[in-house]
Amino acid sequence: MRHVVFIFIDGLGLGSDDKDVNPLARFDLPGFESLAGGQPMTGSANSVSTPELVFSQIDANLGVDGLPQSGTGQASIFTGTNCAKEAGRHYGPYPHSTSAEAIEKRNIFTRLVESGTATINQLAFANTYPARFFRYVDRTNRWTVTTRCCMSAGVHIRSTEDLATGNGVAADVTGEGLRSIDDNVTPISETEAGDNLLRLASAHRFTLFEFFHTDKAGHAMSFDRAHKRLTALDRFLAHLQTHLDIDEALLLLTSDHGNIEDLTVKTHTRNPVPFVALGSGAEHFSDVAAIDEIVDRIVSWYNNPIS
């Protein structure tokens, strides 16, 4: 069954080659470099377009002044709507009120169901959440963009119970962070987490995984934290690439805005963000130029797959 694995990485821009500024230039990250066609994933990286790999630098500013934010950026990614323009500004970290209709009616999950591509049971959000997350959103109704998309479409939001059976992935990949708040969580390696994601994805037509710790490390302006998060993510991505069935699967990767690539500032950046398509029909995504163009291209990939 042809399927998509979409890796969303929060706060990952393409920045300077200066190792005193950019941890993606400073550290050895072979998994990231492979996704960039064998070059460091920085602003000087050349675009790559082959039948099985597309790597490009795409726009996250969306024609709006100011620093891009997660709320409007992620809503733009997962609905195919320029939500920053609709809001009249970049906004975050939670969705802006003007994005509510797009998230409810045009999110990627709903689009795939309405296009006849998949049933709800063939769509998966791989992230797993602890009990305190569900208590928090029940009390505040402050859902993130991705969980709000799931809620609107009826896609299952996974818990640590799913993580325990290998039917989900922790937000930090290994589950180390969840262990500190849930004694029932047993941390695993990045390769085990990669196997769990690939198994989950092979049973679904579309699977999304969100990694937000890059954004937190960027805000902390910490090379130590950046190294920890990027190297763990790199091992995870390298394993996915090694074991991805490129005849049946397509791996996509992008971000909502820059941050971790410039640790001299605490804020987000206006740098371009990476876009990667690896596997079956990757060249179908060769002309994606901005983050709000991805959803339309995903839907059309299923309808007109390139072999």
Instruction: Indicate the pLDDT class of residue 306, thresholds 50, 70 and 90.
Output: low
Give the separation between CA 183 and CA 148, rounded to whole angstroms.
27
Structure tokens at 57: 């630098």
Q: Confirm whether 276 is domain-assigned.
A: no
Which tens digit of pLDDT belongs to each residue from 63-114? 999 999 999 999 999 999 999 999 999 999 999 999 999 999 999 999 999 9
State how beta strands 48-49 and 53-58 pair. antiparallel
Q: What phi, psi does 147 have (nearest 5°)?
A: -70, -30
Q: Nearest CA to 112 among 81, 155, 147, 74?
A: 155
Q: Confirm whether 57 is domain-assigned.
A: yes
Q: Confirm whether 186 is domain-assigned.
A: yes
Q: What is the DSSP letter of 2?
A: -
Total number of domains constituting the chain? 1
Q: What number is the average pLDDT over the span 211-232?
A: 98
Q: Confirm whether 117 is domain-assigned.
A: yes
Amino acid at 192: E
Which tens digit of pLDDT belongs to each residue from 15-66? 999 999 999 999 999 999 999 999 999 999 999 999 999 999 999 999 999 9
Range of the domain at 208: 3-271+281-303
Q: Can you give the pTM of this predicted structure?
A: 0.97
Q: Which residue has tokens 């896609």? A: 155
Q: Is the pLDDT of residue 121 over 70?
A: yes
Please report, for residues 14, 55, 260, the alpha-carbon distance to residue 271 in angstroms, rounded to integers and kept in the order given: 6, 16, 11
Q: Is the pLDDT of residue 307 over 50?
A: no
Q: Is the dihedral of CA 264, 267, 270, 276 positive or negative?
A: positive
Q: What number is the average pLDDT over the span 198-205?
A: 98
- Give the chain's mean pLDDT: 97
pLDDT at 197: 99
- What percentage of the chain carries pLDDT values higher than 70? 99
Which tens digit of pLDDT belongs to each residue from 257-280? 999 999 999 999 999 999 999 998
**What's the full length of the chain, in residues?**
307
Q: Nearest CA to 234 among 71, 11, 28, 16?
A: 28
Three-class secondary structure of residue 272 per DSSP: coil
- CATH of residue 238's domain is 3.40.720.10
Q: Confirm whether 287 is domain-assigned.
A: yes
Q: Is the pLDDT of residue 214 over 80?
A: yes
